[in-house]
Amino acid sequence: MAIPGSLTQLDIWKSLQSHYQDIKDQHMRDWFAADLNRFERFNVTAAGLTLDYSKNRINDDSMNLLMQLARVRNLPQQINAMFTGEAINRSEKRPALHTALRNFSDRAIVVDGQDIMPEIRDTVRRMEEFCWKIRRNQWRGYSNKPFTDVVSIGIGGSFLGPKLASGALKPYWDSRLNIHYLANIDGSHITEILKRLDPSTTLFIIQSKSFGTQETLKNALACRQWFLDNGGEESDLPKHFTAVSSNVEKAKAFGIAEENIFPMWDWVGGRYSLWSAIGLPLALAIGIDNFRDLLRGAFEMDEHFRTAPLEQNMPVIMALLGVWYVNFFGVNSHAILPYDHYLRTLPAHLQQLDMESNGKSITLDGNPVDYNTGPIIWGGVGTNGQHAFHQLLHQGTHFSPADFIMPMCSHNPIDNFHAMLVSNCLSQSQALLQGKSEEEAIEELVASGMSKAEAIVLAPQKVIPGNRPSNTLYFPKAKPQTVGALIALYEHKVAAQGMIWGVNSFDQWGVELGKQLGNKVLDALESQKIPQHFDGSTNGLVRAFHQMQNL
């Protein structure tokens, strides 16, 4: 699939640059005053989610031009290529087919001449059987007691997606199982998890697509040893250790019984793998029916992304708005602000999804880009963030577009908590939009009893520029289907941006160098010799490590 020419040389790019000059000093406040239907016009609903994008620095011309950009970049053809299994991950010569994992249609999806759907369906059936056995106490630990705890060992995509969805769907946890996520290579993390557990009632799931990730293997070995040191026998291991991996041989070599290995495929990227058996800890917590609903919600978003016209296509709209800010307003970050306790780890998941996918500076053809690509993703749950970092959003020198994400109903409707939470969410985006002028600040201060002279001195501190853009994404309640649609929405937003920027959103070569160097540094830390061969700073830090071991 050819993606035409250098992005910045395109006529449409130049039109967008000149349009930016036309509107950059216009205030959204005036646009809202002039157009009472702005909310209805810049609003789209799909798969149970509604996006209000009226609080963006756009008018009809902006959206028309951005849509033209999408067409010039062959976005519909690129989307089709992704869904039909073309090898769009060119550097690894693979398709990116996470959408196949939630394909509820009867469309075949062919990879290397074979329909992959039967194997996917078979894996979901195996997951169902496994969940049934564990949840109904048919599969027990070595002492014949039912399992009480599941430790999911994995990192990156083999951790963040299931962790997010488990948290998001906590109200649907309907088994007595406690699920623990062990990711970091940090003695404190594993210690804190294992110290509360009984090996005879603990099940481990080693989650690693490659089965070669240092942190995961080290943690898995340590858990195995803990199990053997605390009552388990070698012969009990198959009852307590399972794995999800595309590298069955390595998982077997580690000692996992073949029947306890769930498959993964190289056409699923780690950060897109929640929908595969990597979702097993989640399925154990919420049951396979709820897990299927999660997949169904994602499928609905897939169908929307695949078939809706660009102008009404939610992921495409969000992608283009992001491009508008990154490439024309010079913005380099994007805030994710869920107003829902259960969605509090969404920013962490989206950091990997977005930054590992589009943190690229080389095009698919191998040329350096001469424009910015993926922004820095950050954020946190509201209202906590309001008392921490929102100050910068309102008055800082940087402006960061933000996504406010909000269920209209709570799973826990206590008193008027939820109305208060929603009022905070709405008033934050309102404040970002309208700001406060100097005259308004003076008026307010005088009304509070301050003299006009004093008010004039203080007012500049209270001026808030406003005109800061945000999306509000809302839905009735965070149910499994909604959460599936929400995560898939962001997957497609990120993919569509990568398609426009002409980068490969499905590889991650940048993380490799750190891994390679890490092994050499570990050798140096573990040797007694004073290192000379690194840069001066690394040599000094290794020396400091040696010196501080006996303090």
Q: Residues with catalytic annotation?
A: 356, 387, 515
Q: Which residue in the block uniquely carries the two structure tokens 């398709």? A: 95
Instruction: Map tokens 């898939």 to a residue.
Output: 488
In the complex, what is the shortest distance from the CB of residue 211 to ligand F6P, in angstroms, rounded to a whole number? 7
Cα separation, 298 vs 222, whole angstroms: 35
Q: Does 359 bind ligand F6P (CB under 6 A)?
A: no
Closest to ligand F6P by CB, 157 vs 380, is 157
Q: Tell me the angle at which helices 60-72 and 480-501 cross, rounded to the nearest 10 degrees.
A: 70
Binding mask 136-155 for ligand F6P (x = CB under 6 A): -------------------x
Interaction between residue 498 and ligand F6P (CB under 6 A): no
Is 157 near ligand F6P (CB under 6 A)?
yes
Query: Between 89 and 471, whose beta carbon lies closer to ligand F6P?
Result: 89
210 binds ligand F6P (CB under 6 A): yes
Q: Does 351 bind ligand F6P (CB under 6 A)?
A: no
Spatial neighbors of 52 by CB under 8 A, at least 6 apart, are 39, 42, 43, 471, 472, 473, 474
Q: By beta-carbon distance, which residue lies closest to ligand F6P?
A: 270
DSSP β-ladder status, 333-338 and 402-407: parallel
Residue 276 found at the interface with ligand F6P (CB under 6 A)? no
Residue placing its CB nearer to ligand F6P in the complex, 244 or 288: 244
Query: In the complex with ligand F6P, which residue's Cβ is closer, 157 or 162?
Result: 157
Give the CA-trace dihedral at 161, 167, 169, 175, to 10 degrees: 110
CA atoms within 13 A on the CB side of 50: 14
Cβ-based nearer residue to ligand F6P, 144 or 516: 516
Count other Cβ atoms within 10 Å, centred on residue 391: 11
Tokens read off for 344:
């509090």
The binding track of 499-528 with respect to ligand F6P, each residue x by CB under 6 A or -, is: ---------x--x-----------------
Structure tokens at 506: 């499905």
Q: Which is nearer to ligand F6P, 232 or 270 (CB)?
A: 270
C-alpha 438/C-alpha 408 separation (Å) is 34
Q: For ligand F6P, which residue of 85, 141, 156, 162 counts as binding (CB under 6 A)?
A: 156
The binder of ligand F6P chosen from 209, 224, 349, 390 (CB under 6 A) = 209
349 near ligand F6P, rule: CB under 6 A: no
The closest of 350, 310, 335, 336 to 499, measured between CA atoms, is: 310
- Rounded least distance, CB 269 to ligand F6P, Å: 7
Q: How far apart are CA 115 and CA 124, in angstroms?
A: 16
216 binds ligand F6P (CB under 6 A): yes
Please identify, using beta-carbon distances, which residue of 127 and 274 lies nearer to ligand F6P.
Answer: 274
From the list 202-210, 281-289, 459-467, 491-499, the region that binds ligand F6P by CB under 6 A is 202-210
Among 85, 141, 167, 270, binds ligand F6P (CB under 6 A): 270
Decide whether 224 or 271 has the Cβ nearer to ligand F6P.
271
Residue ranges in 157-287 assigned as alpha helix (H): 160-168, 187-194, 214-229, 237-240, 248-254, 280-286
**Residue span binding ligand F6P (CB under 6 A) among the ranges 24-32, 208-216, 235-243, 456-464:** 208-216
CB 280, min distance to ligand F6P, A: 13
Residue span 458-497 as binding mask against ligand F6P, x where in contact by CB under 6 A, dash where not: ----------------------------------------
Min dist. Cβ of residue 206 to ligand F6P (A)? 9
H/E run at residue 474? strand 470-475
Contacts with ligand F6P: how many residues (CB under 6 A)? 14
- List 163, 271, 292, 390, residue binding ligand F6P (CB under 6 A): 271
Minimum CB distance to ligand F6P, residue 158 (Å): 4
C-alpha 120/C-alpha 105 separation (Å) is: 13
Decide: 292 and 120 in contact? Cβ < 8 Å. Answer: no
Please report whether residue 94 would count as binding ligand F6P according to CB under 6 A. Answer: no
Q: Beta strand 470-475 with 333-338: parallel, antiparallel or unpaired? A: unpaired
CA distances from 363 to 7, 103, 151, 367, 377 (A): 10, 30, 39, 5, 21
By CB under 6 A, tell whether 261 contacts ligand F6P: no
* Pairing, β 470-475 against β 402-407: parallel
| Amino acid at position 153, single letter | I
402-407 vs 261-263, strand pairing mode: unpaired
Residues forming the site for ligand F6P (CB under 6 A): 155-158, 208-210, 213, 216, 270-271, 356, 508, 511
